[in-house]
Chains A and B, each alone.
Chain A
């Protein structure tokens, strides 16, 4: 499917409007607005400290764990505003899952890692159904052939790449709509990075992916749309090809041509 056509039909899953966020007195996000569309990979790029990880963490309200955080504005996920104290965080986090920078499987077996989400959400069902979910989740992250004989082995014995894929499988098992990825390849070597990117292209058929990355080449390779952030502002947001080849803002151009960052 050509990208242009794809773009016109994809509805936004997450819509951010005039989002501000303060850590104490420090304003980390300034009037950020953006729309993240279904079955697309959207990259958020920008130099360290620009607020890209902070923005990502507002989508599943992980910033709540930090003391002294205040927000204003709105984030609509499937038409529901998730900012505010009445948001159902458990429901939100089931819908919007997160892959972290460092692969972080639990010190449990491969299967137990995948089934953790189902267990806590009380979705545990028949034994053979569980096996099917483990297989399906591992197949989805292209790990089944590697791990099918090691399902009861500790997840800590896997390679970094396998661990990161397992973390994605653990997410997929709870059937999210959105996958947030916070520098998912920063601990991986180039070959493993390429394979994770390949996996992301596979996954976008079923999920909406938002990736924060330091690596501009990675953003250019995998994303359909991209946003450039600087000092808490969303400077530019648009189709990846446009942002990288014909940036409208001088600051974007300076960043992608390597003048800072």
Chain B
């Protein structure tokens, strides 16, 4: 036992504080370095023009558009399925072997490395369904990747709606579905939106799932249909950082800055929605 409890406590406090501050340092450094090196490259031309000279000049417009398409496609696929599954799991499913294995599958789905999703998407969507390397294949692959995120967030949001709301709704003669439709879902929506946006951010930033399923190395035009290949920001960043010689550093960091801003912006929106909801809720 220590003879100096006060001093021991001070040392413990200090260590805990240092450990906590250490978390902030890498985040801050990443943001500072990327802004510092990337900011000079970011201007309207950079955001709105096609890349030129083998991506060494011009802009990153098709990669931004490609990422937006992919994220939109992923959400169109994953949100309805994820939400309906979450409603089933939290409102209807009885606790039995089927339910437990579904829940186990969701947990495992969340733990699958993203490159495995890429391979899976290649085998299923690109080859088996013959969608080819396309926005459709890439969106579906990203969609599957973010499904567990959306299901888990939606389930938590649904289960956070107080039992008494359901009870009183049923006692007024509402059916189970009416109760879900009119009482449970409206009160769960902020949580569902938050989870969805976090999923969007994840989908926007991942490289591996789009590597084999959609991403074009160099395609200086906009995709015309969902069966087209597309450029995407994370893959573009990889390409100009490692595959193309003599790319100006500020172009690389500019691209990283745009990608980082998109993802941080989505997270910020999610945080704001959650914050406003918490302030409003009083039960």
Report the bound CA distance from A89 to B172 in whole Å.
10
**Does B178 contact A97, Cβ atoms closer than 8 Å?**
no
Residue B28 at the chain A interface, CB threshold 8 Å: no
- In the complex, the answer to whether A171 meets B172 with C-beta atoms within 8 Å is yes
Residues of A within 8 A of B164 (CB): 100, 102, 104
Contact of A119 with B by CB under 8 A = yes
The residues in B between 154 and 208 inclusive whose CB is less than 8 angstroms from any CB of A are 162, 164-165, 167-175, 178, 182-183, 187
**CB < 8 Å: which of B165, B173, B282, B283 contacts A93?**
B173
- Across the interface, name the chain A residue whose C-beta is closest to B166: A65
Asked if A116 and B182 sit within 8 Å, CB to CB, the answer is yes
Q: Does B281 contact A (CB under 8 A)?
A: yes
CA of A90 to CA of B164, assembled, Å: 18
Distance A65 CA – B283 CA, assembled complex (angstroms): 22
Q: How far is the CA of A100 from the CA of B182 in the complex (A)?
A: 20
Docked-complex contact A97 and B183, CB < 8 angstroms: no
- Residues 76-104 of chain A: 1 if any B CB is under 8 Å from the residue's CB, otherwise 0? 00000000000001111110011010101
Count of A-B contacts with CB under 8 A? 63
Tell whether, in the assembled complex, residue B173 and residue A117 are in contact, meaning their CB atoms are under 8 Å apart. Answer: yes
Q: How far is the CA of A102 from the CA of B164 in the complex (A)?
A: 9
Q: Is the CB of A120 within 8 A of B165?
A: no
A62, B281: Cβ atoms closer than 8 Å: no
- In the complex, which residue of chain B has the Cβ closest to the Cβ of A102? B164
Q: Are B171 and A174 in contact (CB under 8 A)?
A: no
Q: Which residues of B contact A93 (CB under 8 A)?
A: 170-173
**Residues of chain A with a CB closer than 8 A to B175's CB:** 90, 120
Q: In whole Å, how far is B238's beta carbon from the nearest beta carbon of chain A? A: 47
Residues of A within 8 Å of B182, CB to CB, are 116, 119-120
Bound form: Cα–Cα A62–B178 in Å = 16
Q: A102-B164, A104-B165, A107-B283 known; A120 and B187 CB under 8 Å?
A: no
Q: How many residues of A contact B (CB 8 A)?
A: 27
Q: What DSSP secondary structure best describes chain B's contact surface?
A: helix
Judge if A214 is at the interface, Cβ distance under 8 Å: no
Residue A170 lies at the interface, judged by CB distance under 8 Å to chain B: yes
| Chain A hits for B183, CB < 8 A | 106
Task: Decide: A156 and B172 in contact? CB cutoff 8 A.
Answer: no
Within 8 A of B (CB), among A150-188: 156-157, 167, 170-171, 174
Residues of B within 8 A of A98 (CB): 168, 171
Contact with B along A19-41 (1 / 0, CB 8 A): 00000000000000000000000
Known: A156-B282, A156-B283. A106 touches B165 (CB 8 A): yes
- Residues in B whose Cβ lies below 8 Å from that of A157: 282
A121 within 8 A of B: yes
> Could you tell me the distance in whole angstroms from the C-beta of B35 to the nearest C-beta in chain A?
41
Q: How far is the CA of A121 from the CA of B182 in the complex (A)?
A: 12
**A100 touching B167, Cβ below 8 Å:** yes
Q: How far is the CB of B79 from chain A (nearest CB, A)?
A: 24
Contacting residues, chain A, for B162 (C-beta < 8 A): 104
Which residues does chain B contribute within 8 Å of A119, judged by CB atoms? 182
Judge whether B172 and A107 touch: CB under 8 Å.
no
State the CA gap A254–B72 with chains docked (Å). Answer: 71
Provide the residues of chain B in CB contact with A89, threshold 8 Å: 173
Give A residues with C-beta under 8 Å from B: 60, 62, 65, 89-94, 97-98, 100, 102, 104, 106-107, 116-117, 119-121, 156-157, 167, 170-171, 174
Q: 22 A-B residue contacts at CB 8 Å?
A: A89-B173, A90-B173, A90-B174, A91-B173, A93-B171, A93-B172, A97-B171, A100-B171, A102-B164, A104-B162, A106-B165, A107-B187, A107-B281, A116-B172, A117-B172, A117-B173, A120-B169, A120-B173, A120-B182, A157-B282, A170-B172, A171-B172
Q: Which 3 A-B pairs have the closest CB atoms?
A: A93-B173, A94-B173, A98-B171
20 more contacts with CB within 8 A, not counting A62-B170, A107-B283, are: A62-B171, A65-B170, A90-B174, A91-B173, A93-B170, A93-B171, A97-B172, A98-B171, A106-B183, A107-B281, A116-B169, A116-B172, A117-B173, A120-B169, A120-B173, A120-B174, A120-B178, A121-B173, A167-B168, A171-B172
